[in-house]
Each structure stands twice: as C-alpha cells, then as structure tokens.
Structure 1
Amino acid sequence: MANYKKKLDFWQIWNMSFGMIGIQFGFALQGGFMSRIFQTLGADKDAIPMLWIAAPLTGLLIQPIVGYMSDRTWHPKFGRRKPFFFIGALLSSIALFFTPYSSALWMAAGALWILDASINISMEPFRALVADKLPDNQRSYGFVVQTLIIGTGTWVASNLPWLMTRMGVPNTAAEGVVPDSVKYAFAIGAFVLFASILYTILKTEEYPPEDLEEFEAEKAKTRGIIIGFKEVLKSIVTMPTVMKQLGVVQFFSWFAFFTMWSFATPAITEHVFGATDPSSAAYNNAADSVGNYLGTYGLVSMFAALLLALFTSKYLINRKLLHLVSLVAGGCGFILIYFITAPWMLHICFALVGISWASILSMPYAMLSSSVDPKKMGIYMGIFNMFIVIPQIIAAIGGVNFLYKLLFGEAVINTMLLAGTLLILAGLSNLLITDKKAAHD
C-alpha cells in the first residue's frame, strides 16, 4: 500500500475526515451534557463518574476488535474502513436521539453505554484511514486537518442547548425530566452525525491491499474469534516502545479530560454561578452557559488546528515539543478556573484548554503512525485507545473523587485543579519519548 500512496490536497483530506465532525457532535453532547442529564435524574455529584464508566469500558473492548476486523476487511466497492463507518453511524445516530428521553438513571447510563459503543465503531477506523491514505510526510498534516474538523464539531455541538434556548425552546422542565433544549440539541446531533459520515463514505476511495492474494491468504490464516483474540494480545505484548512512552502521556491527558467532562458542569455551576438545584432555572441557565464556555475549547482547537494545518503543509515540526507546550498550557487553563472572578474569564481558561485539545487529537497519532507496521495500523490504533480508556476507568471507579479530595479538599471546584495538575504532568511526560522519527515530522 505504501508504494503508491500519493500526496493529497486539502479538500481530499477534508472529505475523508469530514465524518469526524459528526462523531465529535456525539462526543461533545455526551461530554458536555451527560452529567447535566444525570443530575436532572437525581444523581449525586460524587456518583457521576461511576455513571460514566460504561463509556471507557466500551472503548477498551470495542476499538481493538474493530481495528483488528477492519485491518482484515476488503471489498472492491465498500472498501476497508467504510463499512465500519456506516454501521457505527447508524447505531450512534439512533442512540444519540433517544438518550435525553431517559426517565431514570439506569436508562441514562445504559443509553450512554450504547452511544459510546456505537461511536467507537466509527471513530477508530477514521484514525486508521488517515494513516492508510497518506504518505509519512503528510501524516501530521492529515491528523491536524482532522483536528480542525473535530474542533468545529466541538464548538457547534457544545453551544446547541444554549442556541436552542435563545431560539425560544424551553430549558427547564418538571423535576426529573430533561429540558427540551437538550432534547432538540441531541436530535440535531444525531442528524449531523449520520449525514457527515455518509458524506465521507460517498466522497472517499480507499486503496486496495498491495498484494490481494497475500492479503486473502493472511486473512484466512487469522480467521476465527480465538485466533483474533490471540492476535490482539500478541500485538499488545509486542507494541512498539514509542507507543508505551506515548501511553504515559495519554494516561495523564485523558484522566484530566475525563475529570472535566464529569465535573465541569457541577463544579462551574456551583463555584462560578452559585447554582446547585438541577430543577431550578438558575441551574439550567448556568448549565447552558457552561456548555457555551466549553464550546470555547472546541473553537480555539479549531483555529489552532487551522494554523497547524497551514504550517505543517509546508514545514516540518517537532511533534514532541509542540505537544509538551500545548498540554502545559491546557493544564494552566484548568487551574485558572479556580481563581477567576467573573464568568467571562472562563473563555480564557477554556481557550488554553483548546490549545491542548488540538494537540491531543493530532500529535500522539502522528507520532504513533510513524512507528507501527502499516499492515497493522487499525489494530494498533485500536490498542492505542487503551491508553485513553484505562485512565477514564480508573477515574470513574473512584480515582477522581479520591485524588481531588486528598490533594485539594472537598469542594467540587477542586476537580479542575486536579485536571490541571494531571495535564501538566502529561506535558512533562513527553520528555520520555526518545524515538527521533516519532518526535520529528
């Protein structure tokens, strides 16, 4: 495959990554408003991380399996990764639409599980597709363009409930009922998710295996659940050193962002707006505002990715150094939330977080894709997801509650101090990466 990869222009890369805007609609609505839904349905603040646990557990199981299967898939008409795009898009859009109609906590937690499982089916092949289609010297550019699309999705989706409210849709409801503004936002997200992934499917062609006979023979030898499971385990044991080093960076990064997704709404509505009753107008107005401020990190990540796209299209970059600085900036943004004196300052805090988000969604994958066997790109991208979901699982089963109270005290705003500290540690962990090919584009 690598022998005949040609350079692609911006719009070709844009088309093959456009479906990520829909995937990010799903993740942004999930990340920005699931805790609000949980609180509306009666969840205690300290119970929220455990309600999130289904999401990372699902990713831990599904992404390596989907990666393994997509590596061994080829159809002359439907390609290698595109069948997984379609299946994931269909299931995700259905789950996203129905999630805010949950009437009990167990239903909301189950809906989150189904939603995250479905999104993961589509997301992992998108990462692999960039590595499939682009030569080595365009990898950073490709992942940065993908990040530009993701940032756009994060910003728009995070602002949807706020926008619905401004358009006259009610943002309050009876106790235990999710407001219509959130329901409308999730419905719009479901449509965008399916439509954007369908656009990528229709606009993108995939390269066939370099040697089709060898590909079919190899696939025949590795057919079966047991053999597939052994192959995944073997790939985990023999993963490249750079993946292990990046794993440390990913661990701290995603622990920090899981802390934000779980606690930003209760922490900021209480600390900044003084609103604590989920059924009150004050809380729901504050929660809309939190979504608006969270959208800032998506907007800034979009512009950061745009600048990076312009730069990486012409020049080589030091991926390791860029990632280090970006993560430290985001860590400072989280910490500043504790000290702000007016709500508008949250835009500054989340702008710094957006710089780190742009880097998290591009630089680790660019570094990894330069260090793994192209024939196993899908499975390695799936295994790499372990370093995203394991910290989230640890956070969900009590890690966040234990650490923020131990290190900073009982107030829920201290979760943002924890997130900032972890993100700075993630930045410094880039110093562990020694592979020059991975670190420099």
Structure 2
Amino acid sequence: MTINRRPRQGFAGLWNISFGFFGIQIGFALQNANMSRIFQSLGESVDDLAFLWIAAPLTGLIVQPIIGHYSDRTWGRFGRRRPYFFGGAVFAALALLGMPDAPALWAAAVLLWVLDASLNVSMEPFRAFVGDMLDKDQHTAGYAIQTAFIGAGAVVGSATPYLLDWLGVSNTASGGGVPDTVRLSFYGGGVVLFLAVLWTVLTTREYSPEQIAAFDDTGPVDTAAPPTPQSPAGALAWIGGGLGIGVLVAAVGLEKELYLLAALLISYGIARIVVARLHAAGRSDNLLSHIVGDFAGMPSIMKRLALVQFFTWSALFIMWIYTTPVVAQYAFGSGDPASAAYNAGGNWVGILFATYNGVAALAALFLLRPLARAIGTVRTHALCLAIGALGFLSFLFVRDAELLLLSEVAIGIAWASILAMPYAILASSLPQAKLGIYMGLFNVFVVLPQLLVATVMGTIVRHLFPTEPIWTMAFAAGVMALAAVATLRVREA
C-alpha cells in the first residue's frame, strides 16, 4: 500500500511550527533565573528555597498527562493542539505580569503555581505538534529548530535583567524588595510570550485526524482504553512504598515535604485499583484509565529513556535552584540577598543561563545532526550529557565569574541534546494516535526528579553543608554522569 506523506516543510514552515516555544521559554527562563531571587527578596532563607519550588514540578506532573490525553482527542474549528497553546499563553502572560508585584511570599508562590501550570499547558502540545506536522525524516530537524527557539527565548529571558541594569535601570530596591530590572523583565516577558504563541496559532494549519491516519496508515484513531494492569500486588506495592516513606519521615524526623512524595506513590496505587474496578464494571474509556494504562504499558524504549530523564532533570533542577546563591557567594562574595554584590551575582546568573541557552541554540542547529549521523543519536546524547557533567563539576573549582562562562558552554551542549534527542527518538517510535499522551507521560520523568530534589535537597543542604551551597553542584555533576551512563542502555529504532 502506498502511504501518503506529509508535505515537506521548508525553513519557514519549521519556523512557524515552533516559534511559539520562543515565548514559552522566555517565561521559563525568567522563572528559573529569578524566582529564587524573588523569594529571597520577600524574606525566604536559602535552605527553604527548594520547598517553594515544589509547586512547579507538581503542577507539571498533574497537568501534562491530562493535556496530552485531551489534545490527542481534540478536534474542532481551531485545531487539535492550538487551543491549548493559546489558552496556556494567556494565563502564563498574566502570571508574569503579576509576579514582580506579589505583595507577600504566599502570593509569589501562588503565582509561580499559576505560571508553571500555564506554561505546561502550552508546552506539552508543542512537543506532539512537531510529530503531527512532520514526517519521520524531519523529526530531528523539527526538534532541533524547536531547541534553537528554546535556546533563543531563554537567552532573552535570562539576560534581560542584566541588560536593563547596563542601561541604567535600578538593580536594587529599597527595603529589599524586587528590583526594577526584574520587574520590567517580567512585564516584557509576558507580552512577548503571548505574541510568540499567537504567531504559531495564526500561521499554522493542523492536519485533521483523518489526514494524520492516512499519512501514517494507521486507520481510524484508536480511542479504546489501553490494557489495565490486573495484578493487585502491583497496586499494593506502590501503596506500601508510599506508606513506608511516610513512616520513615515520621520516625527519623525527616523534612515534612517528603510526605508529598509518599502521597503521590499512594495515590498512584489507589488509582490502579480504581481503574481495575472501572474496567470490571465496563467503564474503560475515561481519562484515568487511559493515563494509568498507558503509563503501565509504556514501550520499552520509553522506559529506558525515562531513567535517563530522571537523572538528567535532577541535575538541572539543582542548577536552577542553587546557581544564584552559589555564584553570589563564591564569585561575588556575598550571601546577603539585600546587598548590591548579591544582586550583581543574581544578574550574572542571568548571563550564565543566557550563555548555556545560546550555546544550546547553536549546538542544536550545527552540532547535533552531524554528530548523530556520525555516531548515532544515543551515543550523541550520552556524550553531550557527559560534557554537561564536567560543566557542573567545574563550579567546585572556578571562582572567577567570567570563567564560569566556559562551564556554561559545556552545560549548553548537554542542554541542546536534552531538548532535542529524546523527543526525536520518541516521536519516531511511538504510535501517532497517542503521541500527546505519551509525551505528557514522558514528562512525568522530567517532573518526578524535580519534585524529589525540591523535597530532599533542602534537607541535604541544611544538615550537611548549610553555609556551603557549592556542594549542590557536586550532586548535579554526579547525577548528570549517571544519566550519561543510563543513555547507553537505550537502543535506537
């Protein structure tokens, strides 16, 4: 049988498909580089920062599988994925506009939750959108262009406070509040995010479910519920694991944030029991059945990549939380959030983050594809992650702020691969009819490590090195090295 092919996209088509990610990443970059700074400006201590960041990964854990499920099954006047792009962009822009004027710590934490939820609503369908719009032979190119926009957006978002300071905007605030450099950066970021996503919404036309089925020779989109795990022992094991963690926290006196991890494990075990009963009652086509069944029945390649993602994003989340206090203390000589030196360090972190994102944009365009052709996508990803581990390790020895730019070059190479290679591998290996839900479930292994870091890292810092946050970078280097090793277990299609 002759299979129809999607029209091959030129540069303009690839640009339009992913340009919205430029705005989304501006939002993530402003969040990543400045939220610890905002929290500390509102009175939070460094060893409690991880707890306040819990909202972000927990939101992604809940939102992305749900959005993936519904975007797979959505089709209407405005398309399949685009309604989610647009709705998420509206609320993310509003959160960015409100964040710097948060009157208290609790308000900033709530706005972080709204921002992260909205960014996730927009981001998840963008991953599946590339698979919808491009044939397999353009997946690597599509995700590379998307990564370039992610890098470019992150450069803009990360560097804006520094540039505003250079232009003469005040970088300190009376009474220790949020400085004007950060305030104006968030205002501008909200506007640009909305306009960038609107560009993709207005310049792309999605293929209908019937066209996609014809392209992939899959027949009608399968909406039947996936197989459900039948073993009660499996559900009880998840519940037992959660209870065990809860008992350990109570007995040993660990941080109470770990109760959240216990609750998640118990909730998943209960969800498996509920789904089994729904199936027994003939009620199989529902959101919970699809999410639980697809999670339990993930393809083997996705399971192996999941382990890679777990280690990778543990390292990244450590970096996002602790780079500002590390750079301010060790390269600028101040751990006081109200001091000019600390705020200068905070601005320099924006430049460091802009550097790794800029490197990622260039590496995605000019390094990844030729390297993958030479040694394969799996070895390319493993090599890039190993280079990133060396970048994290260098923070332990480098005390010159400008030399840290070289550390960020190494991290940028890893970041380019992280944003492109796993998704290109998956998009070419997963069933098109379930691409959204699988991409959403894949994000679980981006979110879980962040949640674990947010609940555990504060305890580690408080008890092992309360005045020496530099050692967080040693943890980041170690888990990134584990990610590189785990990558070698992945088998290319």
TM-score higher than 0.5: yes
- Preserved contact between residue 332 and residue 344 of structure 2 (Cα < 8 Å): no
When residues 164 and 243 of structure 1 are mapped into structure 2, their CA distance, relative to the original with a 3 A threshold, is same
- Preserved contact between residue 51 and residue 458 of structure 2 (Cα < 8 Å): no
Show the counterpart of 1:105.
105
**Pair member with larger Rg:** 2
When residues 17 and 278 of structure 1 are mapped into structure 2, their CA distance, relative to the original with a 3 A threshold, is same
| AA in 1 matched with 2:316 | F
- Whole-Å separation in 2 of the counterparts to 1:134 and 1:322: 22
Show the counterpart of 1:416.
473
When residues 317 and 140 of structure 1 are mapped into structure 2, their CA distance, relative to the original with a 3 A threshold, is farther
Show the counterpart of 2:345.
286
| AA in 2 matched with 1:150 | I
Show the counterpart of 1:359.
417
Deviation at 1:372, TM superposition (A): 1.1
Q: Among residues 384, 409, 417, which one is paired with 2:442 in the alignment?
A: 384
Matched ranges for 1:238-249 at <5 A: 238-249=297-308
When residues 34 and 212 of structure 1 are mapped into structure 2, their CA distance, relative to the original with a 3 A threshold, is closer
When residues 220 and 370 of structure 1 are mapped into structure 2, their CA distance, relative to the original with a 3 A threshold, is closer
Matched ranges for 1:165-204 at <5 A: 165-204=165-204
Of stretches 226-235 and 246-255 in structure 1, the one that deviates more from structure 2 is 226-235
- Whole-Å separation in 2 of the counterparts to 1:270 and 1:66: 40
Show the counterpart of 1:433.
490
- Whole-Å separation in 2 of the counterparts to 1:185 and 1:317: 41
Show the counterpart of 1:350.
408
Tell whether 2:409 aligns with 1:324: no
**Post-superposition CA distance 1:138-190 (Å, at most 9, x none):** 11111111001111111111000011111221110022411111010011110
Q: Among residues 314, 319, 326, which one is paired with 1:267 in the alignment?
A: 326
- Whole-Å separation in 2 of the counterparts to 1:124 and 1:369: 13
- Preserved contact between residue 50 and residue 457 of structure 2 (Cα < 8 Å): no
Q: Among residues 413, 426, 429, which one is paired with 1:371 in the alignment?
A: 429
Deviation at 1:285, TM superposition (A): 1.5
- Preserved contact between residue 99 and residue 111 of structure 2 (Cα < 8 Å): yes
SS across alignment from 1:37: helix
| AA in 2 matched with 1:10 | F
Q: Provide the aligned length of Structure 1 versus Structure 2.
A: 432
| AA in 2 matched with 1:412 | P
When residues 196 and 334 of structure 1 are mapped into structure 2, their CA distance, relative to the original with a 3 A threshold, is same
- Whole-Å separation in 2 of the counterparts to 1:240 and 1:86: 31
- Whole-Å separation in 2 of the counterparts to 1:14 and 1:316: 26
- Preserved contact between residue 147 and residue 419 of structure 2 (Cα < 8 Å): yes
| AA in 2 matched with 1:427 | A
Of stretches 258-267 and 337-346 in structure 1, the one that deviates more from structure 2 is 337-346
Tell whether 2:28 aligns with 1:27: yes
SS across alignment from 2:403: helix
When residues 212 and 132 of structure 1 are mapped into structure 2, their CA distance, relative to the original with a 3 A threshold, is closer
- Whole-Å separation in 2 of the counterparts to 1:84 and 1:346: 38
Tell whether 2:256 aligns with 1:255: no
- Whole-Å separation in 2 of the counterparts to 1:418 and 1:269: 19
Q: Normalised by the size of structure 2, how large is the TM-score? A: 0.83
Deviation at 1:74, TM superposition (A): 0.8
- Preserved contact between residue 296 and residue 350 of structure 1 (Cα < 8 Å): yes
When residues 311 and 103 of structure 1 are mapped into structure 2, their CA distance, relative to the original with a 3 A threshold, is same
When residues 246 and 219 of structure 1 are mapped into structure 2, their CA distance, relative to the original with a 3 A threshold, is closer
Show the counterpart of 1:209.
209
Deviation at 1:226, TM superposition (A): 7.4
Of stretches 178-187 and 8-17 in structure 1, the one that deviates more from structure 2 is 8-17
Show the counterpart of 1:50.
51
| AA in 1 matched with 2:453 | A
**Post-superposition CA distance 1:235-275 (Å, at most 9, x none):** 10111011110011000110001001110001110011111
Which segments of 5 or more consecutive residues in structure 2 lack a partner in the other structure? 214-218, 227-278
- Whole-Å separation in 2 of the counterparts to 1:225 and 1:49: 39
Deviation at 1:383, TM superposition (A): 0.4
Show the counterpart of 1:14.
15
Indicate the percent of aligned positions where both proteins have the same amino acid.
Answer: 44
Which segments of 5 or more consecutive residues in structure 1 lack a partner in the other structure? none
Deviation at 1:308, TM superposition (A): 3.8
- Whole-Å separation in 2 of the counterparts to 1:364 and 1:59: 18
Deviation at 1:103, TM superposition (A): 2.3
Of stretches 194-203 and 367-376 in structure 1, the one that deviates more from structure 2 is 367-376
When residues 409 and 423 of structure 1 are mapped into structure 2, their CA distance, relative to the original with a 3 A threshold, is farther
When residues 409 and 34 of structure 1 are mapped into structure 2, their CA distance, relative to the original with a 3 A threshold, is closer
Show the counterpart of 1:118.
118
SS across alignment from 2:85: helix
When residues 118 and 219 of structure 1 are mapped into structure 2, their CA distance, relative to the original with a 3 A threshold, is farther
When residues 3 and 183 of structure 1 are mapped into structure 2, their CA distance, relative to the original with a 3 A threshold, is same
When residues 219 and 241 of structure 1 are mapped into structure 2, their CA distance, relative to the original with a 3 A threshold, is closer
Show the counterpart of 2:232.
none
When residues 211 and 180 of structure 1 are mapped into structure 2, their CA distance, relative to the original with a 3 A threshold, is closer
| AA in 2 matched with 1:194 | F
- Whole-Å separation in 2 of the counterparts to 1:348 and 1:240: 38
**Post-superposition CA distance 1:58-104 (Å, at most 9, x none):** 000000000000000112x3110000011001000000111111122
When the two chains are superposed, the root-mean-square deviation of aligned CA atoms in Å is 2.5
SS across alignment from 1:343: coil
- Preserved contact between residue 404 and residue 415 of structure 1 (Cα < 8 Å): no
Deviation at 1:211, TM superposition (A): 6.6
- Preserved contact between residue 19 and residue 146 of structure 2 (Cα < 8 Å): yes
- Whole-Å separation in 2 of the counterparts to 1:158 and 1:58: 22
Deviation at 1:276, TM superposition (A): 1.4
Of stretches 122-131 and 393-402 in structure 1, the one that deviates more from structure 2 is 393-402
| AA in 2 matched with 1:356 | A
| AA in 2 matched with 1:67 | G
- Preserved contact between residue 40 and residue 175 of structure 1 (Cα < 8 Å): no
**Post-superposition CA distance 1:184-208 (Å, at most 9, x none):** 0011110110000000011111111
- Whole-Å separation in 2 of the counterparts to 1:401 and 1:163: 35
Deviation at 1:402, TM superposition (A): 2.2
When residues 90 and 138 of structure 1 are mapped into structure 2, their CA distance, relative to the original with a 3 A threshold, is same
**Post-superposition CA distance 1:205-248 (Å, at most 9, x none):** 111112799868949999x9971111111110111011110011
Deviation at 1:400, TM superposition (A): 5.7
- Whole-Å separation in 2 of the counterparts to 1:358 and 1:225: 40
Deviation at 1:399, TM superposition (A): 3.7
Deviation at 1:42, TM superposition (A): 1.1
Deviation at 1:418, TM superposition (A): 1.1
